[in-house]
Copies of this chain bind each other. A is one copy, B any other.
Amino acid sequence: MSYFGEHFWGEKNHGFEVLYHSVKQGPISTKELADFIRERATIEETYSKAMAKLSKLASNGTPMGTFAPLWEVFRVSSDKLALCHLELTRKLQDLIKDVLRYGEEQLKTHKKCKEEVVGTLDAVQVLSGVSQLLPKSRENYLNRCMDQERLRRESTSQKEMDKAETKTKKAAESLRRSVEKYNSARADFEQKMLDSALRFQAMEETHLRHMKALLGSY
């Protein structure tokens, strides 16, 4: 079996959004399924009613002549067809109720899920911010190092050299903090992303299992 947690890290960490968007389709599918089954139920009901009408036509067949007994056969067969499709209609109507009930539960689950995964969304944004900061800090530090090196070659005064060294140290400290922030954000993101991936996968599995069970009666 394949797991959401093994995939969907995605370029620029967009995997979360992809997964979340996919999971959000669940209730839409459920609603569409209910609409689909409702349409089918209407079709079956129309057919059943038409068959019942046809059965009446058969029972109005002329009772004279040698062909007359055949009308009874037509009447019975039309009645049976009407009944079959009426039963199907009723089953489908029950199924719609089940689907709608499931749809309501699903919406609750999704609301709860949305609250629970909001932390992951934050982690994605924090990581994104830190990721942009890191190269800037690195560049700043490198520039300071080059400045210091240039001053040394130009035999600048000790005072100027000290100033430059202080700046370099500050830049180094800033870079160190950025790296720490990035590592921490990355770890946080990975943990939360794994959690969310597991949660989404569980939801999708439950969803599909539910839909499959519902479709068993279609």
A interface residues, Cβ below 8 angstroms from B: 21-26, 28-29, 32-33, 35-36, 39-40, 42-43, 46-47, 50-51, 53-54, 57-58, 61-62, 64-68, 70-71, 74, 204, 207-208, 211, 215
Contacts and interface: CB of A to CB of B under 8 A. Distances in A.
Interface of A is mostly: helix
Contacts of A39: 53-54, 57
Given A43-B51, A67-B25, A67-B26, A62 B204 contact: no
Contacts of A36: 54, 57-58, 61, 74
Contact of A70 (B22, B66, B215): B215
A50 B54 contact: no
A67 B214 CA distance: 13
B62 A35 contact: no
A42 B47 CA distance: 10
Nearest to A42: B50
Contact of A64 (B21, B65, B67): B21
Contacts of A35: 57
Nearest to A50: B43
A23 B43 CA distance: 41
